[in-house]
């Protein structure tokens, strides 16, 4: 396959040939047609317009898949979204343009539990579009309404409870318009009706960093929560008499027609392969791959002074410098997809959909992203059979191609 990234190609009618498309939960041999940043149905082009492609691209038998969607990422390439509040615009741009190398075409910049003034500073300045970079779907506010007993790396002095409904959230965040996901511990919410209000305003409510029982989780889901944040991490471990939030994967108290989704970190460190298999075999429909990556994502081995602690990258992992204490994930999304596929022996299509279709459905944006359906955004990636990214396209424009394809 040989192609050249052409930023002026967006208005052209482009035909991708000699490829296999991830469509209708399978790989099909077909051409992909793109125009004006959208994936189009070629039949009207043939029969009504009688037009031909301005450009034909031979994909050399590659897989064309929707671009990956990362719902939880704390930073990367030396940027920490929660800490670098004075340079947030440049920081988000740096991450957005870096992520396309890993096949990510849209993401939710994630803010961990922070002081109120940090939210008031960061949220109004969060970019909504980056030229040549992954699209920003909205902020994932992971906290501060979490349980201090499951705080993980979140600063305990900033943790809050929701005492006064939406007024508490507005006072904390300053605005809700830029927020797409809020992770909260259901036991930190005095009136669960606030979950209904958040969902009605278009925010996805996730449960995490929690000591919640299964009944606590079920009550939150009945009020509209639809996502579990990094399953198995920062929650009560599974117990046969009360399985906690993990039990939501097999609960019989979920409202009819409601899917409970769950993020899971398949970086080879945070979640054991057996746990990946348990989650996949228990509730495959709801599984979403997330990186939960930190600022050290994409950095070379060595010590890096980022945020409050010096970090050391070695052997593909991030540690607090001078120790063997892990401090976060640095596996990119394409690596997580490959690790997950190996661990579960799932199909190639399922591994891809866990990072595309499932997160899109969770955010209710599957008519725009996460599929190759006609009329959706032309955000897609070309992959080889080993699921390595060959090129990344956003709105029909090539924004990255692997060096071997030059």
Shared domain for 379 and 280, answered yes or no, is: no
User: Which of 310, 279, 332 has its CA nearest to residue 98?
Assistant: 332
Q: Residue ranges of the alpha helices (H) in 49-160?
A: 88-99, 116-122
Shared domain for 72 and 62, answered yes or no, is: no
CA dist., res. 9 & res. 306, Å (int): 38
Between strands 179-184 and 139-142, the pairing is parallel
Q: Classify residue 215 by its DSSP letter.
A: H
Shared domain for 139 and 213, answered yes or no, is: yes
Question: Residue 92 in contact with residue 81, Cβ under 8 Å?
Answer: yes
CA dist., res. 172 & res. 166, Å (int): 10
Residue 2 lies in a domain: no
Average pLDDT over residues 237-265: 97
Residue 3 lies in a domain: no
Shared domain for 245 and 334, answered yes or no, is: yes
The response to whether 327 counts as a known ligand-binding position is yes
CA dist., res. 185 & res. 117, Å (int): 22
Q: Which pLDDT score is estimated for 71?
A: 98
How far from 228 is each of 125, 269, 385, CA to CA, in Å?
A: 27, 19, 31
Sign of CA dihedral 320, 326, 328, 332: positive
CA dist., res. 391 & res. 5, Å (int): 9
Is the pLDDT score of 339 beyond 70?
yes
The response to whether 153 counts as a known ligand-binding position is yes
Q: Which pLDDT score is estimated for 287?
A: 98
% of the chain exceeding 70 in pLDDT: 96
The response to whether 209 counts as a known ligand-binding position is yes
CA dist., res. 229 & res. 185, Å (int): 10
Phi-psi region of 64 (alpha: psi -120 to 50; beta: other; left: phi over 0): beta
Residue 266 lies in a domain: yes
Considering the candidates 70, 216, 292, 334, report the single residue annotated as catalytic. 292
Residue 367 lies in a domain: no
Residue 168 lies in a domain: yes
Shared domain for 115 and 250, answered yes or no, is: yes
Residue 56 lies in a domain: yes
Q: pLDDT tens digits, residue range 178-219? A: 999 999 999 999 899 999 999 999 999 999 999 999 999 999
Shared domain for 342 and 306, answered yes or no, is: yes
The response to whether 225 counts as a known ligand-binding position is no
Average pLDDT over residues 8-14: 72
CA dist., res. 299 & res. 311, Å (int): 11
Q: What is the mean pLDDT of the chain?
A: 93
Q: Which pLDDT score is estimated for 87?
A: 94
Shared domain for 89 and 56, answered yes or no, is: no
Average pLDDT over residues 126-146: 96
Q: pLDDT tens digits, residue range 88-106? A: 999 999 999 999 999 999 9
Q: Which domain range does residue 120 map to?
A: 68-362
The response to whether 230 counts as a known ligand-binding position is yes
% of the chain exceeding 90 in pLDDT: 83
Q: Is 30 a known active-site residue?
A: no
Around Cβ 129, how many Cβ atoms within 10 Å? Answer: 8
Q: Tokens in use for 109?
A: 């910049």
Q: Which pLDDT score is estimated for 406?
A: 43
| CATH number of domain containing 312 | 3.20.20.140
Dihedral Cα 315, 319, 321, 325, nearest 10 deg = -120
Tally of residues, the chain = 406
Shared domain for 13 and 149, answered yes or no, is: no
Domain count, the chain: 2
Shared domain for 46 and 73, answered yes or no, is: no
The residue written with tokens 């075409």 in the block is 105
Shared domain for 73 and 62, answered yes or no, is: no
Is the pLDDT score of 37 beyond 60?
yes
Model pTM greater than 0.85? yes
Greater model confidence, 284 or 325 = 284
Q: Which pLDDT score is estimated for 366?
A: 98
The residue written with tokens 């992971």 in the block is 142
Is the pLDDT score of 325 beyond 90?
no
| CATH number of domain containing 31 | 2.30.40.10
The response to whether 328 counts as a known ligand-binding position is yes
Shared domain for 121 and 60, answered yes or no, is: no
Shared domain for 223 and 276, answered yes or no, is: yes
């Amino acid at each position: 396959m040989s192609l050249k990234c052409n930023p002026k190609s967006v208005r052209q009618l482009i035909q991708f040939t000699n490829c296999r498309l991830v469509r209708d939960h399978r790989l099909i041999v077909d051409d992909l047609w793109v125009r004006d940043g959208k994936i189009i149905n070629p039949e009207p082009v043939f029969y009504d317009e009688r037009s031909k492609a301005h450009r034909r691209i031979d994909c050399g038998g590659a897989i064309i898949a929707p671009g990956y969607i990362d719902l939880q990422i704390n930073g990367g390439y030396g940027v920490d979204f929660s800490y670098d509040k004075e340079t947030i615009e440049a920081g988000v741009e740096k991450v957005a343009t870096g992520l396309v190398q890993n096949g990510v075409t849209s993401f939710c910049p994630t803010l961990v539990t922070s002081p109120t003034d940090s939210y008031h500073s960061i949220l109004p300045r969060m970019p909504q579009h980056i030229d040549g970079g992954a699209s920003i779907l909205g902020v994932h506010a992971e906290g501060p309404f979490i349980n201090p007993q499951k705080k993980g790396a979140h600063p305990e002095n900033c943790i809050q409870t929701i005492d006064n409904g939406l007024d508490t959230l507005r006072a904390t965040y300053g605005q809700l318009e830029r927020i797409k996901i809020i992770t909260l511990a259901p036991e930190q919410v005095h009136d669960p009706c606030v979950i209904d209000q958040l969902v009605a305003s278009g925010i996805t409510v996730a449960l995490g960093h929690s000591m919640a029982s299964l009944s606590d989780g079920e009550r939150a889901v009945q009020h509209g929560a639809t996502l579990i944040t990094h399953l198995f991490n920062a929650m009560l471990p599974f117990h046969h008499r009360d399985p906690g939030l993990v039990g939501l994967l097999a609960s019989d108290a979920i409202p009819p027609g409601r899917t409970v989704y769950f993020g899971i970190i398949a970086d080879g460190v945070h979640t054991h392969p057996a746990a990946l298999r348990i989650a996949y075999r228990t509730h495959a429909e709801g599984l979403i791959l997330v990186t939960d990556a930190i600022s050290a994502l994409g950095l070379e081995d060595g010590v890096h002074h980022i945020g409050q602690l010096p970090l050391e990258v070695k052997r593909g992992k991030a540690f607090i410098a001078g120790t063997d204490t892990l401090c976060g994930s640095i596996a990119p999304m394409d690596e997580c997809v490959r690790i997950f596929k190996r661990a579960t022996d799932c199909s190639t299509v399922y591994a891809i959909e866990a990072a595309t279709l499932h997160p899109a459905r969770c955010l209710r944006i599957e008519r725009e992203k996460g599929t190759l359906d006609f009329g959706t955004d032309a955000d897609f990636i070309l992959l080889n059979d080993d699921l390595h990214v060959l090129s990344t396209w956003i709105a029909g424009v090539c924004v990255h191609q692997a060096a071997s394809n030059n």
